[in-house]
Structure 1
Amino acid sequence: MIVKNEEKDLPLCLQSVRGLVDEIIVVDTGSEDRTPEVAREFGAKVYPFKWINDFAAARNESIRHATGNYILWLDADDRIPSQERENFVRWKQELPTSEKRAYWFIVESPKEEEFLTERCYQMRVFPRVEGVRFIRRVHESILESINALGIPSSYCDVTIRHVGYARKADMHRKANRNLKLLLAALAEAPDDPTIHWHLSMTYNVIGEKEKSARHAESLLSLIPDGKLEGEERQWQVAALVHLGNLYADLGRGKEAEKTLRKAMELDRNNPISAFFLARLLIKQRAYSKALPILQRLREKDLQVYQVPYSQKAVKFYCHVWLGNCYETLGKRAEALREYALASEINPSWAERGAEVGEFYLRDGKVGKALEVLERAVKIDPFNPSALSNLALAYRRTGRIEEAELCLRKAVQLDPEHFDALANLGHLLLLQGKLEEATSPLRKAALIRMDADLAAAL
């Protein structure tokens, strides 16, 4: 580990690996708090190292002090979740003694909204052998030296939780910190595609879209078109998707669509390009073009890649956008089903709470409808459709007074809301309040007449 002023985060990290690792090496790059003392309390060997604006140099110093056969690198804002300990122990017991290998772990980066949590593979374990070293001042990597030495690698299902980018404010702070180091690295290696990738991502985070696009274009110009395979192809697709999204943000819609379609052509099994092309088409209200893309995406089994993305977010928005498409085609039942599936993935989503509740009511799942509709009304108490559907759920569970209150509020909010007027009239009839029922039923009839309404009148 390399650390600086991490007395708050470090205990949680070291506690999470206690009993899993055989030694802890901590290189301190100039802490002014209790970081070194905290590390020693957990049995770590602590070594001071003068900060020289180079994360790779500090990482390589930590390697120099390690004595184990394998090295796991962590940051202070990493944790191995308690539910992963057994998995980690099992993986460790199966480490080969003859052949040296490197290992990719799943890194999970939570966000402020849980369903946006990103997951990706990172090479987190490597053998301690001569020649293995990190490169680059920032966003340092061990991969290049592993590949140069011909060391094979394997993907594992051990998960590390990286909490350092959970808040947008943290992302902005780190982006501004990294920018100077990235520009220095670019001056040293102007043809390094990885540096252009990180510069593009950094400028995007701080809102400088034009600069971000220029570096994405530079990155792609350094990649031989159509010659990459496997993991390298994943990053090529990611770069095209990123550039397509930037073009869209800059109002260059035609270039955005062309770039995103090129990404899809490179790898039709990659869900990321399909997702963002569909997003662009939905924004353009090109629902008929988006629909087949979303239908194929809906059926994909989303894998974890080296490129970080949120599998849950892809599934969530896929269902939401499919619902939008079906609505424009007049297929309400299909739209409601998709909105309900979206709500299952992201329970805090309330934008279509009325429709999701309606789906569950039609499906006979009154308890689920109540759960969704009460949450929707709590988030938006001025939605007459949600109030009207909640009243139906209350009525079906015998909560007549609450149903009437909801319907009266819905009608007050929108005096011409057909469903609220009709449902209120039916409810008052049910209670024998014939005179009171007449007014909402007649108002509903002026908007639209149907068989149930005619029978009630």
Structure 2
Amino acid sequence: MITISLCMIVKNEEELLARCLDTAKDIVDEINIVDTGSTDKTKEIAKQYTDRIFDFPWIDNFAAARNESFKYATKDYILYLDADDVILEEDRVKFKKLKETLDPSVDSVSMYYNAGSDEYGNVTLRYRRNRLIKREKNYEWRGDCHQYLDVHGKIINSDIAITHKKIRHAVGRTISIYEKKIARGDIFSPRDYFYYGNELRENGHYEKAIESYDKNLSMPEGWIEDKIFACIFKGDCYRHLGDLKNENFSLFQSFQYSSPRAEACSRIGYNFHRQKNYKTAIFWYELAIQQEPDPERWSFIYPAYYTWYPHLQLCVCYYNLGDYQKAYYHNEQARKYRLEDNSVQHNKKLLEGLLKTDKT
């Protein structure tokens, strides 16, 4: 059976660190904590789980800190987690089985990262990451922020998920790192422009985000998946700016890079929906629910756009067209994911009344 070193970088994580370590401590064989300048009780909490606690000054570079944490690993494989990550019980069971059965010739195991969830327990954002990597390969992190592991060799994809459970968003922190890169005159890669655009968008700087996404799209190199979502996210920026024409243009632009994704189709459907063009909206919502996200896909997957969201919108569209039977059907499909949703419950009661009236 393989052995595992858990490597983490932390700073002021007294609220979350124990929660994370409680879900991982019996899976791993060693815990290494690199502290980048905590002023709270983070180190005291860490000492309850390990004596392998190290200091590293924060230099506005996540990759440097993560690489530092990897230096202390002594076991066969390295697992990394953030303090606001947890391993849910069903994934802990899968993880333990993986540990018992993993072929030592494997260089890396990718796992899902469930980066968000709604109030009903549905995953809202999922993507893959190289999560369990062979120590002797000396893989390194790249990038000041939104860093990635430069991994090659024998990689297998698992169905294990690491779940992100943040309690607050670090507003502006990552933007400042990018701004320092700009001030230094650093050359941005397509990936830098994509993630800088994401940070700008998430912090409400929509016009600057559009500029960053366009710079990504103008460069022939770069990951095609980033370009697909640069188009979709650029559309979101135009929506916030009230520019419907350019929003639709951006969403259709994503089709240059792949077949239609549900993330784009659902948005296009909504644009026709809000214009009360229900038949056209139905076409796009139906196209969305026909898509199935590839479980092997590494880029962003937003499950709502493949499931409850287009069904709920189809319910509204068919209601407005007077087709209460189809409206009821799609509301029931949405209810599978959002049983306690007040709007779904309201629709169910309303439509059951209308269908009963029709029969009489």
Which TM class, normalised by the smaller chain length? Answer: 0.7 to 0.9
Check conservation: 1:209, 1:250, Cα contact below 8 A: yes
CA distance in 2, matches of 1:116, 1:160: 12
Question: Which of 177, 187, 203 in structure 1 is aligned with 2:173?
Answer: 177
> Per the alignment, in what secondary structure is the counterpart of residue 290 of structure 1?
helix
Shift of 1:119: 2.0
| Structure 2 unaligned residues grouped into runs of 5+ | 1-7
1:105 is aligned to 111
Q: If each structure's helix is expressed as a fraction of its own residues, which one has the higher value?
A: 1
Decide whether the 8 Å contact of 1:238 with 1:273 is kept in 2. no
Shift of 1:34: 2.4
**Greater strand percent: which structure?**
2
Match of 2:229 among 233, 238, 244: 238
CA displacement, residues 335-370 of structure 1 (integer Å, 9 cap, x when unaligned): 122123223321333235443124456889xxxxxx
**Where do 1:342-381 residues align within 5 Å?**
342-351=334-343, 353-360=345-352
> Does the alignment pair 1:88 with 2:95?
yes
Counterpart code for 1:82: E
Alignment of 1:214-293 (within 5 A): 214-224=211-221, 232-268=223-259, 270-293=261-284
**Offset at residue 116 of structure 1 (A):** 6.0
- Residue 318 in structure 1 maps to residue 325 in structure 2: no
Select the structure with the greater relative contact order (CA < 8 A; seq sep ≥ 6): 2
Whichever residue aligns with residue 143 of structure 2, its letter is: R
Q: Which runs of 4+ in 1 moved over 6 A?
A: 361-364
Give the C-alpha shift of residue 46 in structure 1.
0.7
Structure 1 residue aligned with 2:193, among 192, 196, 202? 196
TM-score under structure 2 length normalisation: 0.88
Contact 1:69 1:128 survives alignment (8 Å): yes
CA contact (8 A) 1:191 1:222 kept: no
Residues 4-153 of structure 1: pairs in structure 2 closer than 5 A? 4-97=11-104, 99-111=105-117, 113-114=119-120, 115=122, 117-142=124-149, 145-146=150-151, 150-153=152-155
Aligned length: 350
Contact 2:141/2:148, CA 8 A, preserved across alignment: yes
Q: Does 1:159 align with 2:161?
A: yes
- Code of the residue aligned with 1:101 in structure 2: it is D
By how many angstroms is 1:60 displaced?
0.8
Offset from partner CA, 1:45-77 (integer Å, 9 cap, x none):
111111112111111111111112211111111
Q: Distance in 2 between matches of 1:208 and 1:21?
A: 41
Contact kept in structure 1, 2:262 and 2:289, CA below 8 Å: no
Q: Tell me how far 1:195 sits from its aligned partner.
A: 1.7
Which has the higher Rg, Structure 1 or Structure 2? Answer: 1
- The percent of aligned pairs where both chains have the same amino acid is 24
RMSD: 2.6
Q: Is the 8 A contact 1:216 1:239 kept in 2?
A: yes
How far the C-alpha of 1:214 sits from its partner, in A, is: 1.0
Paired with 1:37 and 1:276, the residues of 2 have a C-alpha distance of 47
Counterpart residue identity of residue 50, structure 1: P
| Structure 2 CA distance for partners of 1:160 and 1:131, relative to 1, 3 Å | closer
TM-score, length-normalised on structure 1?
0.70
Where structure 1 has 5 or more consecutive residues not aligned to the other structure, the ranges are 365-418, 420-449, 453-457
Question: Shift in Å at residue 44 of structure 1?
Answer: 4.5
Q: Name the aligned partner's letter for residue 332 of structure 1.
A: Y
